[in-house]
Chains A and B, each alone.
Chain A
Amino acid sequence: MTEERAPSLHVPAPSIRPGDDPDFSHVSIPRAGEVDRPDPATPPEEMRDLAFSIIRVLNRKGEAVGPWASGLDSETLLQGLRDMMKLRIYDARMMTAQRQGKTSFYMQHLGEEAISCAFQRALRKGDMNFPTYRQAGLLIASGYPLVKMMNQVYSNDGDPVRGRQLPVFYSSKEHGFFSISGNLATQYPQAVGWAMAAAIKGDKRLAAAWIGDGSTAESDFHGALVFASTYKPPVILNIVNNQWAISTFQGIARGGAGTFAARGHGFGLPALRVDGNDYLAVHAAATWATERARADLGPTIIEFVTYRAGGHSTSDDPSAYRPKEEGTAWPLGDPILRLKTHLIALGVWSEERHTQAEAEIKAEVVAAQKEAEAIGTLHSGRRPTPRDMFEDVFAEMPPHLIRQRHEVGY
C-alpha cells in the first residue's frame, strides 16, 4: 500500500535561473550518426524510439556521419550557408532599425536559422508552409525578395500587406508562405485542412505546419493532431522546441511527456526528434517526411531541438528569467558555425571566403534596406493610406465602410 498524502501542486521550474551557472547536463545529446534511419514506409509503431533520441548528422569535427547523412552536394550546402548568413544579417539590421524607431517591433531567429532555411530546401513549388513568426528562413531560402520583407517590417507603401500587420507577419502565396496570424497555434489545424484539401483534390502538394514548444499547449495543436491522425493527409507537423516560451521554460508546456515529439504517439503518428542546429539533419529529416507525404503515407511530426539565443522579441529582456550566458552553454552549438566548419572540412570553404561572403551578403542586405527606406519607414516617407485600411475587410466594400472611409476623407 502506498502511503496517503495530501496532494500538492506540482509547478515545473527550470533548475537554473539568473545568477546560476548555465547547466544543460540534463539534456541528453546522442552522438552524431547514432540514430537509425528507417525506411519512410515503416509503420509508425515500429519506430517509436525516434521520438526520444535526436537525429544528428554533423559531429564535432564537422564531418557528416551516419545513416541520415544524405550526401547533399557542396553547391547546395554553400547555398544553405548563405541563406542562414543572410537571415542572421537581415535580423541584425532589422533589430537595429527597430531600436532606431524605424518600426515598432521585431522578432529575430538567432540560433534557429538552420530550421527554416534547411526545411524550405526540401519542399517543392506548390507546397505550403503555415509558419509562426520565427520562420523567415522559409522565405529567404525560397528566394523571396529582401526588399519586400523589409517593406513589410517598415509597414511602408511597398508593404505587400498594406501596413495592416505587425512587423515580421509576412505573407506570400507564391512562395508557399501562408499569412501569419499572431494568435498562437491557430494555423496548425489550418495546415492539416490544407493538406486534406490536397488529398480531396488528389493534388501532389503538401502542407507544413509550424508551432513553438510553448504553443503546443493550445487546443489547436491537439485538434490538428486528431484530424491528421484520422484523415492522414500529406502534412508535416513541425514543432520548434527552442527551450523557451517568452519567460517560461519548455517544461511548462511539456509537463510529464517525455518529449514534444512523443505527443504524436497517442495519435499513431510517426515522430522524429532532430538536432535543429544541424543544417544537414534538418534537411534530412524534412526530406524523409516529404517522402512519406509524397508516397501518401500520411503525416509526420518533427520536433526540432534548438535554443532561442536572443530575446523573445524586441519587447523582451531574457536576463530577467535565465542566465545571460545560457546561450553559449547550449550543447548543440551555433548552426552557422557548424555548417561552416563542415564546409571547411570538405575543403570547399575557408575562413577568408567566409569573411568575404559575409561582406557580400551584408552589402546585399544594406542595399535592400536603402531601397526599402527610400520608400518609407513606419513613421516617415511613403506609407499606406487610410484608404488601404478599409480595403479587404470584404471582397466588396459594404456601404457602412464606404461611409466610414469618406469620413476620414478618402
Chain B
Amino acid sequence: MPRMTMIEAIRDAHVVAMEADPDVIVMGEDVGYFGGVFRCTAGLQKQFGVARCFDTPISELGIVGTGVGMAAYGLKPVIEIQFADYMYPGYDQLVSEAARLRYRSAGEFTCPMVVRMPTGGGIFGAQTHSQSPEALFTHVAGLKTVVPSTPADAKGLLLAAIADPDPVIFLEPKRLYNGPYDGHHDRPSVPWSKHPDGEVEAGHYTIPLGKARIVREGTDATLVTYGTMVHVALAAVEEAGIDVEVIDLRTLLPLDLETITASVCKTGRCVVLHEATLTSGYGAELAALIQQDCFYSLEAPILRVAGWDTPYPHAQEWDYFPGPARVRRALETVMKD
C-alpha cells in the first residue's frame, strides 16, 4: 500500500471526491493557485479548474456564509479555514446558520458542507496557531465534529464527511501533518513514510463517522483520546508499563459511546486526554457519560489530562502541552485507587 503524509492523504481525499462528484467545490484562503499554506489542496485548481477550487478574500465570515449558501443550493462545499484559531469571524454562520438550517426549515433547506481547519499545538505557534476549539463545535446542536489521528483515517473520514448530508467540522491536527508526534519534543520526529499508519489505500473508501478505533487493547485501564494525543497516549502507556486500552474517538459527535463504555466496564479505570483547555472541555462530557454508564464498574475516579486553562503560550509550549509524563502520572494515579 502506498504511504502518504496526512497532507497527501487529505489532498487525495479531495481528488477522489472531486472526480466522483462535480458538485464538490473547494475554497478558502490561499487554497487555489498556491494549494494552501499546508499544501492540502495543492494541484486541485490545476486539475479541476478555478470554478471548483479557488482563493477567497480573507473573510472567514464570507467563506462560511457563502459556503452555507452554496450547500443550500445543492453544491458540496469543502471549505478551509487557514487555522482553527481564525474560525471565530465565521462562528456565527456556523452556529446560527449552518447548524440550524435543516431544523428551522423542517428539512426543506440543508447544509451539506465540510469545514476543514488545522487544529492543535506543538509547533510553537503560540495563541493564534495552536488552539483546539473542538468543544465550541460539539456544544452546538447540529454540527458533527471529526478529528483524525492518522493519514488513512484522515482520508476515509474526510470522504465520509463530504458524503454526509449535514455540516461537518473537520479538525486536522497540524502537528500530525508530516508524521506522528508522541510528545517527546527532544527526540527526532518520524515521518509518516516510516510509520505503518502512513499506509493509505488508493481510490475511494470511507471510515464511518461516529465509529471509534481501539488503537491498543489492554485490560488495566482505558485511555480515551483523539487527534495528536493518540500518539502521546501510546508513548505514555509504553513508558508506564501498564496494560492500557487506548481508544481513538475519531469522531467526537456523534460519539461512539458503546466502544468506550464496553472498554471502561472491562478495565474499571479511565483517563480522558485532550490538548484543549480543561474547564468545560470535551473531556468533561466524556467523563460525565462514562461515569453514568460505567458507575458500578469503576474502581477509581475518572481523571482528565488536558491543556491548562490559559491561552496557549509560546516560550512555555512544552510546559503547556500535555505530554507523556503527565499522562503517565494520571495512569499511575488511577491504578493506585
A interface residue numbers (CB < 8 A to B) = 8-9, 11, 13, 17, 104-105, 155-156, 159, 162-167, 169, 181-185, 214-215, 217-220, 245-248, 252-253, 255, 315-316, 320-321, 378, 383-386, 388-390, 393, 400-401, 404, 408
Contact = CB atoms under 8 A, between A and B. Distances in A.
4 cross-chain pairs, A with B, having the tightest CB-CB distances, nearest first: A163-B315, A217-B57, A182-B128, A247-B34
B30 A248 contact: yes
Interface stretch (B83-91, B105-113, B250-258): B83-91
B50 interface: yes
B58 A218 contact: yes
Nearest to A156: B315
Contact of B128 (A181, A245, A246): A181
Nearest to A246: B30
B316 A163 contact: yes
Contact of B127 (A164, A390, A401): A164
A185 B59 CA distance: 10
Contacts of A253: 57-58
A58 to B, nearest CB: 32
A182 B56 contact: no
Interface in B279-337: 279, 308-311, 313-316, 319-320
B57 A255 contact: yes
A247 B33 contact: yes
B268 to A, nearest CB: 25
B126 A165 contact: yes
Interface residues of B, number: 39
Contacts, number: 133
Interface of B: 29-30, 32-34, 37, 50-51, 54-62, 85-86, 88-89, 124-129, 278-279, 308-311, 313-316, 319-320
B310 A246 contact: no
B17 to A, nearest CB: 19
B316 A384 contact: yes
B311 A164 contact: yes
Contacts of B37: 246-247, 315-316
Given A8-B51, A246-B30, A408 B319 contact: yes
10 contacts: A11-B51, A11-B54, A13-B33, A105-B124, A162-B315, A182-B85, A184-B58, A214-B58, A245-B58, A384-B315
B127 A248 contact: no
A386 B29 contact: no
Contacts of A408: 308, 319
